Structure 1
Amino acid sequence: MKKINIAVDGTAGSGKSSVMLKVAEKLNMNFIDTGVMYRAFTKLCIDNKVDFQSDNEIKDQIKNFKFEYINEGSILVNGIDYGKNIFDYEVAENIKYVAKNNDVRSFMVEAQRKMSESKNNIVIGRDITTVVLPEAELKIYFDCSVESRAKRRFEQNKRKNVTPNVYEDILRQIQQRDDYDKNREMGALKIAPDSWYLDTSDLDIEQVIDLVLKKIEEIK
């Protein structure tokens, strides 16, 4: 089979990570979750007591962000494994300020393109199909109802022992994240004209995996 890049965008909590990680394992492809990079950067800002209302303070952390992306969505920052800490409440509350910072986004896009140069990658995020890898051989857009996404994230947090874990807070965070993602100045979440649209609201993970594998088989 020829080596390809698969670019995946979609709303927060729509199943991109869990589905495409399994697909990557089945096809022996590299899995790059760009959301992990933004979460790790946000955690670094928190640790360094950055004022999230200051774009300059956020930008200044770029020089401190020495990261090593480990396959399957783990990341080392300055040699430290951030682990489940990137999924905590404070990160979720502040990631929107990092995601809309133009300097951070430019840095991330350049890093993600470099990571994808050798093909055989599944890259997921918010602007992968439209900005990072617009020439990818397959582009997919995941979507899901807000309520279903909040329930999934709540269950995921419970499995990972992430606290606090309140459904109503998660629902509000997802709604706010959707608004930021779709309306930010740079790298806004959009459906690329040639993306395959996949609504996962009423599908379990195995059903979605099967659909994606069939789609990949069509183009390989």
Structure 2
Amino acid sequence: MESQKKSKIKLLHQYYSYTGFYKFILNSIKKAITPILFLVIILIVFNNYIYNINDGLEIVTTTFSTLAIFLMFFVSETILGLIPPEIFIAWSKKTSTPIVNLALLATLSYIGGVLSYFIGKAILKVRVVKEYFENKMHKQLKNTSKWGGFLIVVGALLPIPFSITCLAAGMIKYPLKGVLLFGLLRFVRFTIYGVAIFNIVSN
């Protein structure tokens, strides 16, 4: 039984090696690291020499209602991940209940991804829109067809828009239960990022 399990793992490893999954992950990380490092450097310089980010977050917290910020975040997480979630994680630290709001952000991100999945399925019924997205997301659709659940794991954990991964999954009619299960790793990412960002942003 154990040898069969090992052989299945070996076959999966060979398959992902052959189809270029590992190379795709490595390239995605490399592409993500550069803009992230650049953003961190810009933020440090901006915070130290131009404007205190904590003061900016304080203004956002007192100017906009919590509901409005959550709504903005949900729309972003549903429509192609337009705004980096790290901004909202930093915002949650400045609120009176940071842990609760971080958990709500993670939940909204998860729900947004699931909603993107259904949008992907619905797109198939509109020919013009379907053709547009198939042209724009050809690579994502191809990769999702090959790697399925593992690509959703990558979208949930790494700096790759989770909504795009879920949208592609819906377009290829990937099983919903897979999206629901693997998408739970979104909570892991928000926990890790929350710990890191909470240590940077002051109260």
- Same fold by TM-score greater than 0.5: no
TM score, norm. by length of structure 2 = 0.27
Identify the structure with bigger relative contact order (alpha carbons < 8 Å, sequence gap 6+). Answer: 1
Q: Name the structure with the higher strand share.
A: 1
